[in-house]
A = this chain, B = another copy of it.
Amino acid sequence: MDPVEHLIALLSRLPGLGRRSARRAALRMLADPRALMLPLSDALRAAAEAVTPCGICGNLDATDPCRICANPERDQGLVCVVEGVADLWALERAHAHAGVYHVLGGTLSALSGTGPEELRVAPLLRRAEEGPEGGGVREVILALPATVEGASTAHYLQDRLAGAPVTVTRLAQGVPIGGSLDALDDGTLAAALRARR
């Protein structure tokens, strides 16, 4: 296959780049391959070779355990459970969480056939069962998406964690800080109203 066509086909598979932007990106890079094209090729290979899922939390990082799990200044007793690494990164950017994480790798879904075995549920239970006595987990915060699947996954995890020596909490639901009411979807509004205090 023609190397330019092949490159455009692969670039257009990146989320956020359509065929048209992929063509534009290829052309821009080809005009001066040393500026971006070769560095990007190297960076893709380097990241692919260096980055692995953290054996403790499932974060993607160049070290295992990841820099969050290995950081003695993070509260290792406070574990925030997220659906995916994107959510973990979002919480990190927001400096919203002083503890550590556990990446589930998805949510339970009968529709797509995702059961507990497909997710990192068993490692979460093991972390929780060590409890605070073993220097382990004190609180598990379920920070799952406010969708049907997210809610049923949270319910499932609450059941499974009921016997463990940890407190299980969930993100508060409500109106986002700084968000105007009329930009919110109805479900969020209704939930915020129900949870009024």
Contacts and interface: CB of A to CB of B under 8 A. Distances in A.
B38 A45 contact: yes
A14 B39 CA distance: 12
Contacts of A135: none
A146 interface: no
B47 A44 contact: no
Interface of A: 2-4, 6-7, 10-11, 13-18, 21-31, 33, 36-48, 50-51, 60-62, 84-86, 89, 182
Contacts of A43: 3, 6-7, 10
A183 to B, nearest CB: 9
Q: Oligomeric state, in number of copies?
A: 2
A41 B44 contact: yes
Contacts of A23: 86, 89
26 contacts: A3-B43, A4-B47, A6-B43, A7-B43, A7-B44, A10-B36, A10-B43, A14-B21, A15-B21, A15-B25, A16-B17, A16-B18, A17-B21, A17-B25, A24-B86, A27-B60, A27-B89, A29-B44, A29-B48, A37-B44, A37-B45, A37-B47, A38-B48, A40-B44, A41-B42, A44-B44
Given A3-B47, A3-B50, A50-B3, A13 B36 contact: yes
A33 B17 contact: no
A178 to B, nearest CB: 18
B30 A15 contact: no
Contacts of A61: 4
Contacts of A182: 24
A108 to B, nearest CB: 19
Contacts of A2: 62
